[in-house]
Structure 1
Amino acid sequence: MDQVCLARKVAIVVFNQIEALDFTGPFEVFLTSSGGGKDFQIYTVAPDEGPVTVLGGLSINPAYTIHNCPPPDLIIVPGGPGARTEMNNSALTDWIAQTAATAELVLSVCTGALILAKTGLLEDLNITTHHRALEELKAAAPASAVIIADKRYVDNGKIILSAGVSAGIDMSLYVVGRLLGADRAQLTATLMEYNYNSI
């Protein structure tokens, strides 16, 4: 009897003054690689009810809040100027920490790493962020974490962090490859017409 393979739920955290490509890049990767929703179901999650204003003025309507979100298999925490506010939002950081306990993977893009730094999840890990925020991350992260400044993303097993903005696309393609195979990652990059180097 064939086992039914349920689609992994991918929750992308959004908040005011988020960097657009930090969340839309991973959204596009997981959507394109989802097999029409068979392998991934992607949704946005905000700290509170109501629209979110993206850096530059774009307004989006999150599908859920942290109070009613379906339990995700993957959590993606993007960055942007608003991350410096949300890193001090204990309701959000507590939700990420609690939800990470049952999630398969936790990913950050750019200064989303500052938010992860406040969750208690980065002890003894290799970490990275946007090159202009490395010192901020060093100050916010546990002393046991090691800053990696020369990689597009770093894989710690369950927790994967990427450098700035477009690096989130590379990380997401890498994760697709890890979960569904290198051929799926390359096909996704080809469909996106994205020059992906899986290093």
Structure 2
Amino acid sequence: MTENSSSPPPEKYGIILFPGFQALDVFGPLDSLNMLGRERTISLSIIAATLDPVSTRPPNVNDTRSPLFAERVVPTHTFENAPGDLEVLIVPGGQGTRSSENMIPIHAFLRKTVPTLRYLLTVCTGSAVVAQTGLLDQRRATTNKKAWGWVVKQGINVRWVGKARWVIDDPSVSSSSAETTGTAGNPSQTSVGKGGVAETAKHIPIWSSSGVAAGMDMIFAFIKQVYGKESADGLANILEYERHEDASWDPFAKIWGVGGS
């Protein structure tokens, strides 16, 4: 789906929160969408395990230096009562992605929800969370380069792209020539049935960004493709943000020694 598509642009957004989410993974994309909401009719559902405020502070962390320095966000929905008609879902990353216990309800929600979406967007290590479900099997994706070694182990069947600011895997268009590393073609440990979990979402365009701030560049690329260049350029100028528009720009792959860079 592009700005030239006959389908109207999406209106119903959701974002997942969990203890220890990375603040900029969430607020970078959301602030741009906040501004988009001034010119377009869009809505946002903030989804978490409960309606209690969710902290950026990672769970089970004993940090005596700045124990009170964190932000908390109040969800609007739980995984049980989230709207069933979401069109775009954003999955952030952060240290909290390492909490396997907290990821269990998220995995269940993703498996249920992603097949009904129009777009799935992941930021930073949010791609690891999706990869753990099997929904990224045989799909192209990127992630935080500092966390590369851990992330790729979460999805051995994902076609991980080592050098990319963001990656678009859209089944309706031909794949990019961006360099890919990974183990695509191996039997997935998370597959169920012949096609695996990924088969249920094979028609969904999946956007993934590199680490943290890269989510801002990805969301502007998304806005440009879905809502038009004029909207993307106008919002970037209002926010005074000089964005990277080349999806292959990625000096951090070399900095963090990611293969293929």
- Under a length normalisation based on structure 2, what TM-score does the superposition of the two structures give? 0.70
Following superposition, the deviation at residue 149 of structure 1 comes to: 2.0
Q: Secondary structure at the match of 1:193?
A: coil
Q: 1:148 aligns with which of 155, 161, 168?
A: 161
Instruction: Provide the rounded CA distance (Å) in 1 between the counterparts of 2:147 and 2:99.
Output: 14
Other structure's SS at 1:121 match: coil
Q: Which of 185, 209, 214 is matched with 1:162 structurally?
A: 209
Instruction: Tell me by how many angstroms 1:40 deviates.
Output: 2.1
SS of equivalent to 2:46 = strand
Shift of 1:178: 1.3
Structure 1 residue 69 displacement after superposition: 1.3
2:77 corresponds to: 64
In the superposition, relative to structure 1, how do residues 43 and 59 fare at CA in structure 2: closer, same or farther (>3 Å)? same
Choose which of 125, 134, 139 in structure 2 pairs with 1:111. Answer: 125
Residues 91-130 of structure 1 mapped to structure 2, 5 A cutoff: 91-130=105-144
Unaligned runs of 5+ in 2: 1-7, 58-68, 171-204, 247-261
Shift of 1:134: 1.0
Indicate if the aligned counterparts of 2:10 and 2:87 stay in contact, CA closer than 8 A.
no
Alignment of 1:50 with 2:52, yes or no, is: yes
Cα distance between partner residues in 1 of 2:101 and 2:234 = 35
* Mapped partners of 2:9, 2:210: distance in 1: 30
**1:86, distance to aligned residue in structure 2 (A):** 5.2
**What is the identity, as a one-letter code, of the residue corresponding to 2:161?**
I
Deviation at 1:90?
2.5
Are residue 189 (structure 1) and residue 236 (structure 2) matched?
yes
Structure-2 change in CA distance of 1:17 and 1:52 (3 Å): same
Moved over 3 A (4+): none
| Residues 75, 86 of structure 1: alpha-carbon distance in 2 compared, 3 angstrom cutoff | farther
Would you tell me which structure has more strand in proportion to its own residues?
1
Residues 158-197 of structure 1 deviation map (CA, whole Å, 9 limit, x = unaligned): 1111011110111111111111111111111111111023
Residues in 2 aligned to 1:35 and 1:66: alpha-carbon distance in whole angstroms: 28
Report the structure number with the largest CA radius of gyration.
2
- Residue identity over aligned pairs, in percent, reads 27
| Conserved 8 A contact 1:87-1:114 | no
Post-superposition offset of 1:59: 1.5
CA contact (8 A) 1:128 1:153 kept: yes
Partner residue of 1:21 out of 24, 27, 35: 24
How many aligned residue pairs are there? 193
* Contact kept in structure 2, 1:109 and 1:163, CA below 8 Å: yes
1:103–1:115 Cα change, 3 Å? same
Bigger shift: residues 147-156 or 89-98: 89-98
Q: CA RMSD in A?
A: 1.8
- Residue 89 (structure 1) aligned with residue 103 (structure 2): yes
**Residue aligning to 1:80:** 94
Q: CA deviation at 1:7?
A: 5.7
1:30 corresponds to which of 29, 33, 46: 33
The residue aligned with 1:174 is 221
